[in-house]
Amino acid sequence: MPPETRYAKSGDIHIAYQVTGDGPIDLVYVPTWISHVEHLWEEPRVARFFERLASFARLILFDRRGSGLSDPAPAPALEEQMDDVLAVLDAVGSERAALFAQLEGGGMATMFAATHPERTGALVLFAAWARIVYDEGYEWANAPEARAQLVEELTTGWGTKERLPGLAPSVAEEPRFQEWFAKLQRLGASPGVARRMFEVVGSYDVRPVLPTIRVPTLVMNRADDPQIDPRHSRYLAEHIPDARYLELEGRDSLAVFEDGDAVVDEIEEFLTGDRHRREPDRVLATVLFTDIVGSTKRAAELGDRRWRELLHEHDSLVRRELERFRGRFVKSTGDGVLATFDGPARGIRCAGRVVECVRELGLELRAGLHTGESEVIGDDVGGLAVHIGARVSQAAGPGEVLVSSTVKDLVVGSGLEFDDRGTRELRGVPGEWRLFAVM
Pairing state of beta strands 281-292 and 365-377?
antiparallel
> Looking at the structure, do residues 121 and 151 belong to the same domain, yes or no?
yes
| Number of CB atoms found within 10 A of residue 51's CB | 16
Pairing state of beta strands 58-62 and 13-20?
antiparallel
> Looking at the structure, do residues 255 and 298 belong to the same domain, yes or no?
no
> Looking at the structure, do residues 124 and 195 belong to the same domain, yes or no?
yes
If you write DSSP's letter for every residue of 303-366 in order, what string do you get?
-HHHHHHHHHHHHHHHHHHHHHTT-EEEEE-SSSEEEEESSHHHHHHHHHHHHHHHHTTT--EE
Identify whether the C-beta of residue 381 lies closer than 8 Å to the C-beta of residue 339. no
Please compute Rg for the chain using Cα positions. Answer: 24
For the sheet with 120-126, list strands across it.
6-10, 13-20, 58-62, 26-30, 97-102, 120-126, 217-222, 244-248
> Looking at the structure, do residues 10 and 29 belong to the same domain, yes or no?
yes
If you write DSSP's letter for every residue of 207-260 in order, what string do you get?
GGGGGG--S-EEEEEETT-SSS-HHHHHHHHHHSTT-EEEEESS--SSTTTTTH
Q: Identify the domain containing residue 425 by its residue range.
A: 281-438
> Looking at the structure, do residues 104 and 235 belong to the same domain, yes or no?
yes
Residue type at 93?
A: G
Mean pLDDT by 10 residues, the chain (439 residues): 92 96 95 91 90 95 94 83 95 97 94 96 96 90 88 88 86 84 92 87 90 97 92 96 95 90 94 74 86 86 84 87 89 85 92 91 91 79 86 91 92 90 83 89
**SS3 per residue for 349-403:** HHHHHHHHHHHCCCCCEEEEEEEEEEEEECCEEECHHHHHHHHHHHHCCCCCEEE
> Looking at the structure, do residues 101 and 191 belong to the same domain, yes or no?
yes
If you write DSSP's letter for every residue of 117-142 in order, what string do you get?
GGGEEEEEEES--S-SB-BTTBTTSB
> Looking at the structure, do residues 286 and 268 belong to the same domain, yes or no?
no
- What's the structural domain count of the chain? 2
Rounded to an integer, what distance in angstroms lies between the CA atom of residue 315 and that of residue 365? 12
Of 43, 161, 168, the C-alpha closest to 103 is 168
In a domain, 152, yes or no: yes
Q: In this predicted structure, what is the pLDDT of residue 263?
A: 94
The CATH number covering residue 342 comes to: 3.30.70.1230
In a domain, 357, yes or no: yes
Q: In this predicted structure, what is the pLDDT of residue 138?
A: 92
Q: In this predicted structure, what is the pLDDT of residue 44?
A: 83
In a domain, 99, yes or no: yes
The CATH number covering residue 240 comes to: 3.40.50.1820
> Looking at the structure, do residues 239 and 387 belong to the same domain, yes or no?
no
Q: In this predicted structure, what is the pLDDT of residue 201?
A: 83
Q: In this predicted structure, what is the pLDDT of residue 170?
A: 86
> Looking at the structure, do residues 252 and 306 belong to the same domain, yes or no?
no
Q: In this predicted structure, what is the pLDDT of residue 29?
A: 97
- CB-count exposure of residue 99 (10 Å: 0-12, 13-18, 19+): buried
Q: In this predicted structure, what is the pLDDT of residue 295?
A: 85
Instruction: Give the torsion sign (CA, 63, 64, 67, 71).
Output: positive
For 25, 26, 387, the CA distances from 272, given in Å and listed in that order, are 8, 11, 35
Q: In this predicted structure, what is the pLDDT of residue 235?
A: 96
> Looking at the structure, do residues 367 and 249 belong to the same domain, yes or no?
no
> Looking at the structure, do residues 45 and 141 belong to the same domain, yes or no?
yes
Q: In this predicted structure, what is the pLDDT of residue 279?
A: 56
> Looking at the structure, do residues 226 and 288 belong to the same domain, yes or no?
no
Identify whether the C-beta of residue 167 lies closer than 8 Å to the C-beta of residue 252. yes
Q: Which of 272, 296, 313 is the last residue of a domain?
A: 272
User: Around 28, how many Cα atoms within 13 Å sit in the side-chain half-sphere?
Assistant: 34
Q: In this predicted structure, what is the pLDDT of residue 351?
A: 93
Q: In this predicted structure, what is the pLDDT of residue 277?
A: 60
In a domain, 1, yes or no: no
In a domain, 433, yes or no: yes
Q: In this predicted structure, what is the pLDDT of residue 280?
A: 56
- In 3-state terms, what secondary structure has residue 162? coil
State the pTM of this model: 0.69
In a domain, 238, yes or no: yes
Q: What is the dihedral of CA 385, 390, 396, 401, to 10 degrees?
A: 60
Q: Which of 247, 272, 297 is the last residue of a domain?
A: 272
Q: Which of 240, 272, 304 is the last residue of a domain?
A: 272
